[in-house]
Amino acid sequence: MSSYKANDILLLVSLLLVSVTFLCADDTYRNRRAGICTVEVPTIQLLSEHDRKGPIPLGNGSRPTLSKIDVCCSGYARVPHTYYGCEPICDKKCENGNCTAPNVCTCKKGYIHDPIELHKCIPECPIGCLHGVCTVNGHCSCDSGYQLSPNKKYCHAVCAGGCGANGECVEYNRCRCKAGYVLDPVSKNCVFHCEGGCANGAVCVAPNTCACKQGFLKQGSGCVAACPKGCNNGDCIAPNTCKCKPGWTLDKTGTNCEPHCNPECLNSICVGLNECACRKGYVRDPRISANRCVADCPGGCPNGQCSAPNFCICNPGFVKESKGSQNCVRRT
C-alpha cells in the first residue's frame, strides 16, 4: 500500500514538472514573438529568378498565391546578428532605464520617470530627490518654487496662476508653451499664435489659423468689411458703414452716395460730381455750358419756339398750321 502511494506521488511530481516545462517553453515562445508581425506577400517574390520560371508552389497564405512571412512590427527593429527577434525602438535613448515597447522606457530599480522628459529616469527618494532633498521619512522636501507631487516622489515646478491647458511649468514661474502657442504677457497663460499675424478684419482663432471677425467677409487671403444692404457709389470701410467719394453725400438710408452738381441741374439729373444727364426729351443747351437742358423738338419749330419735348408754341402773330402740327403760319 505504501509502495502504491509512493508511485502515485512520483507520477504526480513528474506530470507537474512536465506541465511547468511546457508553460515555460510557451512563455519563451511568446517572448520570442514579441514585436514580430506576420504579413502576406506574393509567393513569387520569395523565389529566385531561376525558380520563378518554373511552377510556382502553393503558399500558406489566405490565397494560394500568397505566403506568410514574419517581419518586425511598426515601432520595432530586427535585433542585430539574429534571425529571429525584434526589439522596440525608442526615439530618445532611455536614461537609467530600458526600452520595453515603442517609445516606452521602463525605469531600472531605484529610479522613476522624470515628470517632464519621460525617456529619462531619475533616482527615487531616498536615493535622490530632484529639486529638493530627501527627508528621513522617505519623502522629498522641495526647494523654494517647487511643490511635492501626489506620490511624494519628486518636486514639481510652481508657476503662479498656472500655464493654462496649452503649456507646462518647467521652472519656477516659467511656462513652456506647446507648438503654435505663445506666452501672454498679461495672463501669463499660453495662447494660440498665428505666425506673421492676421490680416485686417481677422483674428487668430487657433494655432496659425485666422478667421474673419463678425461683420467681415473672407476675400482672398484677407477679410473685407461687409455692407449687406449695399454701398452704392461708395466704399464699405467698416461693417455696415459706407464712405462716399469726395463730392458725394450719403443719403438717409446710409447705403447710397448721391453726387453734388453746382450749379444745379435744370431739366436733368445729377449723375456725378458736377455732371448732369438730360431727362428724356431734353438736350443740353448749346448756348451755355452750365448744367442746363432744354426741350428737344426734332422737327424744329418754324415761326415758333420749342417749349416742351416735341411741342412748339408759335411766335406772336402766328398760329398752328393744323391741329397737332408743329408748324406755325402767319395769322390771316
Specify the higher pLDDT residue, 97 or 15: 97
182 pLDDT exceeds 90?
Answer: no
91-100, 118-127, 268-277: segment of lowest average pLDDT: 118-127
101 pLDDT exceeds 90?
Answer: yes
Please state the rounded mean pLDDT for residues 79-86.
84
175 pLDDT exceeds 80?
Answer: yes
Which pLDDT does position 63 carry in this prediction?
A: 92
Which pLDDT does position 124 carry in this prediction?
A: 67
Please state the rounded mean pLDDT for residues 82-106.
91
40 pLDDT exceeds 90?
Answer: yes
Which pLDDT does position 1 carry in this prediction?
A: 42
Which pLDDT does position 122 carry in this prediction?
A: 73
- Cell 515597447 belongs to residue: 101
**pLDDT > 70: percent of the chain:** 86
Any long-range contacts for 174-182 (C-beta under 8 Å, 24+ apart)?
A: 179/207, 180/206, 180/207, 180/208, 181/207
Q: What are phi and psi of 123, to 5 degrees?
A: -60, 140
In terms of DSSP bridges, do strands 234-238 and 241-244 run parallel, antiparallel, or are they unpaired? antiparallel
Which pLDDT does position 16 carry in this prediction?
A: 45
Which pLDDT does position 21 carry in this prediction?
A: 38
Helices (H) and strands (E) in the chain, counts: 1, 32
Please state the rounded mean pLDDT for residues 237-253.
89
User: Please, is 233 exposed, middle or buried when counting C-beta atoms within 10 Å of its C-beta (0-12, 13-18, 19+)?
Assistant: middle
Which pLDDT does position 77 carry in this prediction?
A: 93
Residue 57 has a CB neighbour count (10 Å cut-off) of 13
Please state the rounded mean pLDDT for residues 250-266.
89
Which pLDDT does position 128 carry in this prediction?
A: 59
Residues whose CB falls within 8 Å of the CB of residue 87, separated by 6 or more in sequence, listed in order: 35, 76, 77, 78, 79, 99
138-142, 234-238, 257-261, 284-288: segment of lowest average pLDDT: 138-142
pLDDT per residue as tens digits for the range 286-327: 887 778 899 999 888 999 999 999 999 999 999 988 888 888
pLDDT per residue as tens digits for the range 199-211: 888 888 888 888 9
Which pLDDT does position 296 carry in this prediction?
A: 92
Q: Is the overall model pTM greater than 0.85, yes or no? A: no
30 pLDDT exceeds 60?
Answer: no
pLDDT band of 235, cuts 50, 70, 90:
very high
Which pLDDT does position 22 carry in this prediction?
A: 36
Specify the higher pLDDT residue, 20 or 283: 283
Which pLDDT does position 76 carry in this prediction?
A: 94
> Mean pLDDT of all residues in the chain?
82
12 pLDDT exceeds 60?
Answer: no
18-22, 152-156, 294-298: segment of lowest average pLDDT: 18-22
DSSP state of 44: G
